[in-house]
Chain A
Amino acid sequence: MSTISAKERMQIARQLMPEQEGLQRSGNFKEVNLGFSEQLAVLEAQRCLQCKDAKCIRGCPVQVNIPRFIQFITNGDLAGAAKSLASDNALPCISGRVCPQEEQCEGSCIRGAKGQPVAIGYLERFVADWALNQGSAAQEEAPAPTGKKVAVIGAGPAGLTAAGELAKKGHDVTIYEALHKPGGVLVYGIPEFRLPKKIVAAEVDRLTKAGVKIECNVVIGRTYTIPELQAQFDALFIANGAGLPVFMNVPGENFKGVYAANEYLTRVNLMEAYDAESANTPVLIGQRVAVVGGGNVAMDAVRTAKRLGAEKAMIVYRRTKEEMPARAEEIHHAAQEGVDFQLLVAPLEVVGDEKRWVTGLKCQRMELGEPDASGRRKPQPVAGSEFVLDCDVVVVAIGTKSNPLLTATCPELKLNKWGNIETDENGMTSLPGVFAGGDIVRGAATVILAMGDGKNAAQAIDRYLKTA
């Protein structure tokens, strides 16, 4: 294939992701980013300098060999690129869409020092989608069975990744999922316009074809306990997710029209309330929706509100855009779609009418003071700045805390003070052969960190099973 000089590589500008136009897409649930064409992908791939000491790899929680798969794209060998990527990352269609690349691979890219980093996330998605469209052609040979049985608790990003890696090594894997559909946050939380459900279904399908069994509607801690699973399996991986939503603890929070983001998004995504024509699960359609928070979940909720028909969909955040934990692309997309950002604003109380329906959110203005423990400048109230933001739906997206459903029924499992499971550097808990990862260990984190935990735990479980 073509060889091009470093100088030529440096002259290529970062390719833009084709996307649905902002106002048009704010009226539908179709995916926002349309994906690179092969031509755009090759151009973008040529921007990669193929660093010997590739900082991008170290920036990736699952250590994808980024320069290698990009080199295959440059050479026009998409099958090679797909194979290379798949050997490092079990769910590339998903991470290519939802990773905070600007803080990870792209944040470490040497080209970002002067100009724009290589669009690694877009290239990952391009290759993964290409492979998905090729269907089963790229199926690998089944590994020799080891005769070892592993139970995975939770079919979210950590559990699916671990299951895929364990199956590759020939272990007999069963996933137990509490909800009626596998995917975890990928199906109940992240909206269709950011991660189409058919992508998740295809990844799940790939796993079941590789021999992974998935049992839905099984709540570990209720349907079965950890000791019961220990008796049946050689190792366990607990990845049951974050759990309970945190509320603001302000007056009026139980008025009709106040949702935790988890409920709002679950109704719309998992229960398909976005399809008003055929859905059986209702969701309140607000004309003016206030979403409290500045993370990815808040962005998902506010953009969902807009698509459900809100005239005004607002983010209420007590700091500024710079401090928002959401991915840069989500904030940018929300702004393009006409989301209103109420910044340096903190809620004090939910206001309701005599029938206890939400009519507004009483707030106060904030200003940034000295940096706090998190290193972010601490917001302080501005005296006398109280005002009422008119709204008919409030969505609280300020985080989650650990779910005690499983851990309360297994007191031998050592927890930290927040109720999250403690693990060693291999992801093993205080119980031998019981590993854990994802949000139940980390608190609320990201899809890719959960996937990283799943990958690492699978390797540790494999080592454990070989020695056990």
Chain B
Amino acid sequence: MHTILAKKQLSPNVTRLDVLAPRIAEIKKPGQFVILRAREGDERIPLTIADADPTQGTIALVIQAVGKSTREIVAMEVCDAIRDISGPLGHPTELISSGRALCVGGGVGTAVVHPIAKALHAQGVQVTSVIGGRAKEWVIFEEELNRLGEVIVCTDDGSHGRKGFVTDAAKEVLEAGGIDVVYAVGPVPMMRAVANLTRPFGVHTIVSLNPVMVDGTGMCGGCRVDVGGETKFACVDGPEFDGHQVDFDLLADRLQTYREFEQRANACADGQCRIRR
């Protein structure tokens, strides 16, 4: 059992939970994820490890409440316990050891970009972050990223930072020159747009993919993605890949597989229906 030691609401639908998982806290590397199952009978949910405190033995999980299962998890309180957490899973981020990196985070993806930026900064890499959200209250990890280098905030409505998309700001950074690598994590359309943006600049671009997953050990094949025309399993071959090689259309499409089920489960959780199917 993994007790929740701290809980913080980061944006209207994003919550941070600091959870006891000493072994994972001790060895996790940026880019890795865990699979958790909150209670007996619940789904297995993959979540990137946003931060870790090895002395306290905790890992930080940043959860966007979108479906029934994630809504139930964020409804848990301090002292409640998560039943199962396995990890750390996936390959760690491929980090450069010198030069300049551009880290682009969209929405909850900023929580995944943060540990990457932190590790880069620790290695002496100069980090510029471009992060975005719908409006001021949707922007997360701004303060933490500020400690690691320059941060450009973009909001759709201009209520905080610049008005516009992260790609507009990222473009300016790339045009100014000197960027050796780009790390981009966010919604699929954002990662696709960033990959398309960086391609003509010839800058290596790493994205973190979030396909449907079950076991997280390569056994089920549900998380298959197409990278450079080859089928890869995000759980064991990724979750990070060369953004210029990823088939984002396929990823977006396969993420729709259980949409109907999720909508029905959500409606049920809201008390809007009496039968599940």
Contact = CB atoms under 8 A, between A and B. Distances in A.
The 6 closest A-B pairs by CB, nearest first: A260-B221, A217-B86, A263-B220, A282-B261, A245-B221, A180-B84
Contacts of B231: 247, 253-254
Contacts of B68: 280
A282 B86 contact: no
A426 B132 CA distance: 59
A281 interface: yes
Interface size class of B (residues with CB under 8 A): 35 or more
Contacts of B206: none
Nearest to A281: B43
Given A180-B84, A222-B87, A280-B69, A256 B253 contact: yes
Interface in B255-277: 256-258, 261-262, 265, 276-277
A243 B218 contact: yes
Interface string B12-28: 00000000000110010
Contacts, number: 110
Contact of B221 (A219, A247, A272, A356): A247
A278 B218 CA distance: 27
B87 A266 contact: no
Given A278-B41, A403-B219, 5 more contacts: A218-B86, A223-B27, A256-B257, A276-B277, A282-B258
A254 B250 contact: yes
Contact of B214 (A219, A263, A355, A404): A263
B257 A284 contact: yes
B85 interface: yes
A216 B84 contact: yes
A263 B37 CA distance: 17
A329 to B, nearest CB: 26
Q: Which of A179, A245, A284, A403 neighbours the largest number of chain B CB atoms within 10 Å of its CB? A: A179
Contact of B87 (A223, A243, A262): A223
Given A222-B88, A404-B236, A180 B44 contact: yes
B156 interface: no
A425 B218 CA distance: 29
Q: Chain A: interface secondary structure?
A: loop
Q: Which of B215, B226, B256 neighbours the largest number of chain A CB atoms within 10 Å of its CB? A: B215
A440 interface: no
Q: Which of A243, A259, A278, A281 neighbours the largest number of chain B CB atoms within 10 Å of its CB? A: A281
B191 interface: no
Interface string A234-269: 000000010111010000011011011011001100
B121 interface: no
B190 to A, nearest CB: 22
Contacts of B219: 188, 241, 243-245, 262, 266, 403
Contacts of B41: 272, 278-280
A271 interface: yes
Contact of A244 (B42, B86, B88, B221): B221
B220 A245 contact: yes
Q: Which of A244, A259, A403 neighbours the largest number of chain B CB atoms within 10 Å of its CB? A: A244
A458 interface: no
A403 B220 contact: no
B85 A271 contact: no
A253 B276 CA distance: 29
B234 interface: no
B224 interface: yes
A277 interface: yes
B84 A217 contact: yes
